[in-house]
Amino acid sequence: SNNIVVAIDGYSSCGKSTLAKALAKKLHFIYVDSGAMYRAVTLYFLRNKIDLHSHDAIMDALKNIHLNFHSRDYQTHITLNDEEVSDEIRLMPVSENVSAVSAIREVRHEMVRQQQRMGKSKNIVMDGRDIGTVVFPHAQVKLFMTADPYVRAERRYKELSPNNPDISLEDVFENLAHRDYQDTTREESPLTRAEDAIILDNTDLTPDEQLQFAIDKITPFL
């Protein structure tokens, strides 16, 4: 097939989803937030107290997890077994456990299988940690996003604090640092830049500047 795949990877809270959504909207591509899938699996694991060391319990859980996206208005609307969990997956309990759950080989294999199916025949923008390396190694355009860690923590804090008055900037900074460490050092498909990925450091870039940068890279394939 000759559908176009745009893969966006990078550290936590680098603005991957902001850029991915803007791109999808502008180009009329499908947007898939792969992190939301790992977060929803994590929510299920927490609720059902799944033992992360039990292969059988993990396989059983994966069989019972049904994820669906409803990408109205290019936001992430995800359901876990038909329950809308889009807000709950952003809360700290999930953020604190998602990197451990997504380091599990069985979990990754199942998510990657579902993600590859979504990008088989449609023009798609997918963001995550292993999209350009593992999920779509042949994506036409790969971006690797990065930004100053303090700038990232401040951006995420601004996003979270209105609904989470108890959260502190330090908590957010720690969580990002911890997730980046776990994501880059895990054995199974660690976060790393694909050789052919274009680096986009957006520390000093506005969302519009990032969008233009990405559009320029994608235009030759349209």
Q: Which residues bind ligand C5P (CB under 6 A)?
A: 12, 34-35, 38-39, 98-99, 102, 128-131, 179, 183
Q: How far is the CB of 98 from ligand C5P (least distance, A)?
A: 4
26 is in an annotated binding site: no
Q: How far is the CB of 122 from ligand C5P (least distance, A)?
A: 18
Q: How far is the CB of 175 from ligand C5P (least distance, A)?
A: 9
Q: How far is the CB of 219 from ligand C5P (least distance, A)?
A: 25
189 is in an annotated binding site: no
- For residues 21 and 39, which CB has a smaller minimum distance to ligand C5P in the complex? 39
Map the chain to HEC letters.
CCCCEEEEEECCCCCHHHHHHHHHHHHCCEEEEHHHHHHHHHHHHHHCCCCCCCHHHHHHHHHHCCEEECCHHHCCCEEECCEECCCHHHCHHHHHHHHHHCCCHHHHHHHHHHHHHHCCCCCEEEEECCHHHHHCCCCCEEEEEECCHHHHHHHHHHHHCCCCCCCCHHHHHHHHHHHHHHHHHCCCCCCCCCCCCEEEECCCCCHHHHHHHHHHHHHHHC
Integer Cα distance of 22 and 11 in angstroms: 19
- For residues 29 and 35, which CB has a smaller minimum distance to ligand C5P in the complex? 35
17 is in an annotated binding site: yes
86 is in an annotated binding site: no
Q: How far is the CB of 11 from ligand C5P (least distance, A)?
A: 9
132 is in an annotated binding site: no
- For residues 127 and 216, which CB has a smaller minimum distance to ligand C5P in the complex? 127
- For residues 105 and 122, which CB has a smaller minimum distance to ligand C5P in the complex? 105
Q: How far is the CB of 116 from ligand C5P (least distance, A)?
A: 12
- For residues 69 and 220, which CB has a smaller minimum distance to ligand C5P in the complex? 69
Encoded tokens for 130: 């292993």
14 is in an annotated binding site: yes
119 is in an annotated binding site: no
- For residues 174 and 219, which CB has a smaller minimum distance to ligand C5P in the complex? 174
Encoded tokens for 179: 């997730």
Inter-helix orientation angle 92-101/34-47, to 10°:
100
Residue ranges for the binding site for ATP? 10-18
Residue ranges for the binding site? 10-18
